[in-house]
Amino acid sequence: MLDQAWAAGLRYFDAARSYGRAEEFLGGWLGARGHAGEAVLGSKWGYTYVADWHMDAPAHEVKDHSLATLERQWPETLASLGRAPALYLIHSATLETGVLEDAGVLARLADLAAGGVRVGLSTSGPRQADTLRRALAARVDGVNPFSAVQATWNLLEPSAGAALAEAHAAGWTVVVKEGVANGRLTAHGLSGAGDVPPALAAEAARLGVGPDAVALAAALAQPWADLVLSGAAAPEHLQGNLRALDLTPDLGELAGLAEEPETYWRSRSALPWT
CB atoms within 10 A of CB 179: 25
Query: Hey, how many other C-beta atoms are within 10 angstroms of the C-beta on 264?
Result: 21
Whole-model pTM: value is 0.95
* Separation in Å, CA 54 to CA 18, 50, 57, 60, 110: 14, 9, 5, 8, 37
Length of the chain: 274
Question: Rounded distance, CA 228 to CA 226, Å?
Answer: 7
Q: pLDDT value at position 13?
A: 98
Domains of the chain: 2-269 (3.20.20.100)
Q: Are 37 and 5 in contact (CB under 8 A)?
A: no
Predicted confidence at residue 57, as pLDDT, reads 58
DSSP string, 10-51: --EEE--TTSTTHHHHHHHHHHHHT-TTT-EEEEEESEEE-S
d(CA 161, CA 155): 11
- What's the CA gap between 145 and 112, in Å, rounded? 9
Per-residue pLDDT 10s for the chain (274 aa) are 999 999 999 999 999 998 889 999 999 999 999 999 999 999 999 998 766 555 565 656 789 999 999 999 999 999 999 999 999 999 999 999 999 999 999 999 999 999 999 999 999 999 999 999 999 999 999 999 999 999 999 999 999 999 999 999 999 999 999 999 999 999 999 999 999 999 999 999 999 999 999 999 999 999 999 999 999 999 999 999 999 999 999 999 999 999 999 999 999 998 875 5
pLDDT at 19: 86
Which residues are CB-contacts of 14 (< 8 A; sequence separation ≥ 6)?
A: 42, 43, 150, 175, 177, 229
pLDDT the model gives residue 88: 99
Instruction: Check: CB of residue 45 under 8 Å from CB of residue 92.
Output: no
Task: Tell me what pLDDT residue 48 has.
Answer: 84
